[in-house]
A and B are shown apart, each in its own frame.
Chain A
């Protein structure tokens, strides 16, 4: 680690480069403020850039995210640190925040990399690809995903064997193993927390068999199978690469469930599952899709109509909670459930099961601020101190929360919340101390 800290200052510090952080940064920068985005991942765009299509408009998610991402990355008022982490933020006084930022090395000179992928071809190491949610492998020298921003290679140093193959083939000599972690000391006048959410890990519900039954997937894995940058170019079950023809969705996996410590509803799973069901019916016209639910929550603009459309297309909706999943020898899965409409416990067989996993708070929120505390709500989301009159205000004056940092929400609600956070940040910046 280099010993010197690099000092620099901005008007606003935006933590998180997903759609909420990006929208906040654009609003601030378009009004003349200088913004720094801190993104812990290798690319900005958050989870939205990895989605297939969005409900209920069925716009291709990559197609509507990339122009936003590209607008953010080329805006003269916005600086982006990817692969970086907030070590601590301290509020010194009004309009005076001091942030210690750690920028991890990519081991690639970003400016020189052309994204030619020769290093990727040359690298002999294969490990699961986190951007494809482990459905396929990637190399240790790799471009995160095809529409990443920046679309620049990175070396996964933990898995790299230092064989040097990538260095030899790189046409611009941009691979640099001497890069070190850099520490920055950033001054900012306001902070927007747009740290997003984590997905529930269904390994915590052993009776669903995720991790041991090969044909039980998470909804994010199905999202990747349906995305334009999908790994297989069709829908396959991971167990035997068979094209499935009878799929089941298990809603509320990790939501509305006190046994795993998350009593609240995740707000998006019903709709993304209905969307995936519609896309699956397009991709696999002969397939049957069944959605097992407690309540269908199609509450937003155009959602109820979208739900009706899915029913009209032949998606089977069964009100009932799944008790247990068991795997047959052929890889098919038996779902034991209570059919509420018929008041009976039943079993059904499906050849692929998708767990509609819920939204959990980002644990990073607890450790961002030192000194004055950023208070969290009972569910560990960022606490909204004035949820009705000023929904983006937090326990620290001058710190505003955008998007799913404060709780589960879909894309338009995240955009509105980001608009709200950035407008309060702008007012805070304009008002003289």
Chain B
């Protein structure tokens, strides 16, 4: 029983004290059993008050502390650290939320808010009287990180981890690295091409001893948890031997009779069943697309490197942390959306970028020369009716840059931008003014009145009621209509699902805290980077990749981790293993084990989050949650009921 308690009631500036009479709360609890010190403070989290608390704890040998302030999500750890600096066991600290639960919830009823705050603080005092000192669970952490996705973000993160001396397994689902950036030609702002950027990164990482690159590889299961993830990877073969003769291979590709739409060019061209995306694609040898291959054997006849005996491999790795860099999908417009798939002159921005790259001297599409191009912005983003409410962030700059590149590369191009307000934020604004100066025409539609694409006398027309000319109806004849499609979360979320990564409202992976912890997730040991967390341009993706690398490194660098001891505990004598707890557990932390002659439930200490879901379903009351024992909870209920 803790007898010497300190209780601190926070004003939170005015966030609490505007509605809760904090002095009254203090007076109501200062004579509770065990309370030795009761104080109010303007900002409990402020440095000065923290110092004062440390002194109070040390000078008076306090053995329990309660702070009534904001949500424990914000400051539980802050005050645990304070008690630790006062040499008190930090698990004898109890946090009360009288901001969200009293002042903000009852801002219309100051007396009621104060009354509720008093009861909440009293119940915390009741709990801390019974709380026991606890010690973190120490586990070892494997000094290795799995990076999932070898686009620019994943490759850059892998290189940085390798620089820090951390072994990395870089896992890429595709047979080639580089992700989206490999598909782009000249990049904003450096004027290097996407291929060059990818090549530089690939050359840097491929010779490093501590990076293992797996292509054609997919994560199929994960067991374990922070410090010790056991990741199983399925690696599909290329059916080509690593050492191969380029000349023979090229002939083999020519000989292949199969043609399928080429993903790399967003299906505007075809490729063979034996293929590479572009001549210097990495790794630098082709792949046989076994799904479409008919095994006709033509390639085998020409090239000795073709090897149909290669087998699928299952690889198991153990890592301390997982860094996600799985990227994004491009939005595919619905059939008929702005004429998509209805008129053959309507394409998406990624397709357009490939067309600029593939054409030389003259810009043609489907055999016709292209001079007049209409860009329709925000397709699949900022939807009025659809689910994608968010702005895709990169598209305004990306399309303006592509339009400028088109003019630089080809003669007699006229660009018409059908926008919803240009968002070239920051220094990207300069690109927008360059585009205006070069004679591109910008129009803007009303929010509820998008442009219309139609066909008249064999011509494609785009009509808009233009804000910028006071609502005039303007119609532009277009040789090509480019739908500026945004980023959407990966449609195939197998890996996210098996790692149980939570998603936000926009369906991208969600971070712990939007402002201050943008690369950490609620699954300990897993970080997120690049566009899988939300739309980003290359620079922003790389910044987030390097941030995630630092965080992942901090999970593994010391070889040891301290975990929360507040977890479920099984009473072996009472447990009769019915499996109900394992079914209720959202984290897969419960399994069955043999104990003497019977089956009982076992808790995986490093996976259990102490959520308590297993407790109420146990028919024999064999589970206890450490720090939330029945005794503690009952004493809190008594206090709340005023007993």
Contact = CB atoms under 8 A, between A and B. Distances in A.
Contact of A228 (B12, B192, B508): B12
Interface string B171-206: 000000000000000010110100001001100000
Interface stretch (B227-235, B294-302, B536-544): B536-544
Interface residues of A, number: 82
B72 interface: no
A379 B428 CA distance: 12
A108 B576 CA distance: 68
A288 to B, nearest CB: 21
B546 A423 contact: yes
A417 B518 CA distance: 11
B424 interface: yes
Given A64-B515, A228-B15, A419 B425 contact: no
B429 interface: yes
Contacts of B518: 412, 415-416
A81 B305 CA distance: 64
Given A297-B425, A416-B519, A341 B13 contact: no
Given A62-B13, A301-B390, A427-B163, A419 B427 contact: no
A301 B514 contact: yes
Nearest to B181: A388
A3 B382 CA distance: 63
A146 to B, nearest CB: 6
A301 B504 contact: yes
B391 interface: yes
A295 B422 CA distance: 6
Contact of A387 (B189, B200, B430, B506): B189
A420 interface: yes
A340 interface: yes
A389 B197 contact: yes
A409 interface: yes
* Interface-central residue, A54, A265, A266, A431, by most chain B CB under 10 Å: A265
Contacts of A265: 424-426, 428-429
A390 B480 CA distance: 36
B515 A388 contact: no
Contacts of B13: 60, 62, 227-230
B389 A264 contact: no
Contacts of B81: 71
Given A264-B427, A390-B542, A419-B543, A150 B519 contact: no
Given A30-B554, A389-B156, A298 B514 contact: no
B483 interface: no
Interface stretch (A199-207, A212-220, A302-310): A302-310
A128 interface: no
A331 interface: no
Interface string B11-22: 011110000000
A417 to B, nearest CB: 5
A318 interface: no
A146 B515 contact: no
Interface string B418-442: 0001111111111001000000000
Given A340-B467, A424-B160, A430-B165, A388 B538 contact: yes
A66 B382 contact: no
Contacts of A190: none
Contacts of B78: 67, 70
A31 B557 contact: yes
B88 interface: no
Interface in A375-433: 377, 379, 384, 386-392, 407-409, 411-413, 415-420, 422-424, 426-427, 430-431
A34 interface: no
A68 interface: yes
Interface extent on B, as a size class? 35 or more
B467 A319 contact: yes
Contact of A419 (B45, B508, B515, B519): B519
B160 A423 contact: yes
B77 to A, nearest CB: 8
B554 A295 contact: no
Nearest to B397: A299
B164 A430 contact: yes
A340 B421 CA distance: 12
Given A57-B514, A264-B430, A412-B515, A426 B550 contact: yes
Task: Specify the main secondary structure of chain A where it touches its partner.
Answer: loop
Contacts of A150: 47
Contact of B425 (A69, A149, A299, A416): A299
Interface string B465-492: 0011111000000000000000000000
Contact of A62 (B43, B197, B429, B544): B43
B470 A413 contact: no
Nearest to A410: B515
A326 interface: no
A151 interface: yes
Contact of B505 (A54, A64, A305, A319): A305
A63 interface: yes
Contacts of B543: 391-392, 413, 416-417, 419-420
A343 interface: yes
Interface in A240-279: 256, 263-267
Given A63-B45, A424-B160, A305 B14 contact: no
A420 B46 CA distance: 28
B47 A415 contact: no
B467 to A, nearest CB: 6
Interface in A21-80: 27, 30-31, 54, 56-57, 59-60, 62-64, 66-71, 73-74
B503 interface: no
A69 B429 CA distance: 34
Given A63-B12, A263-B430, A416-B544, A430 B163 contact: yes
Nearest to A302: B514
Contact of B539 (A147, A149, A308, A391): A391
Contact of A343 (B42, B391, B470): B470
A171 B519 CA distance: 47
* Interface-central residue, A227, A266, A390, A392, by most chain B CB under 10 Å: A390
A304 B382 contact: yes
Interface in B1-57: 12-15, 42-43, 45-48, 50
Given A63-B70, A66-B47, A229-B13, 8 more contacts: A59-B515, A265-B428, A296-B421, A379-B427, A389-B200, A419-B519, A427-B163, A427-B164
18 contacts: A57-B515, A64-B74, A67-B45, A70-B78, A147-B43, A228-B15, A304-B389, A384-B539, A387-B189, A391-B539, A407-B426, A413-B543, A415-B517, A420-B547, A423-B553, A424-B160, A427-B160, A431-B163
Closest 4 CB pairs of A and B: A228-B13, A419-B547, A343-B470, A427-B163
Interface of B: 12-15, 42-43, 45-48, 50, 70, 74-75, 77-78, 81, 85, 152, 156, 160, 163-165, 187, 189-190, 192, 197, 200-201, 382, 389-391, 393, 421-430, 433, 446, 467-471, 504-506, 508, 513-519, 533-534, 538-540, 542-544, 546-551, 553-554, 557
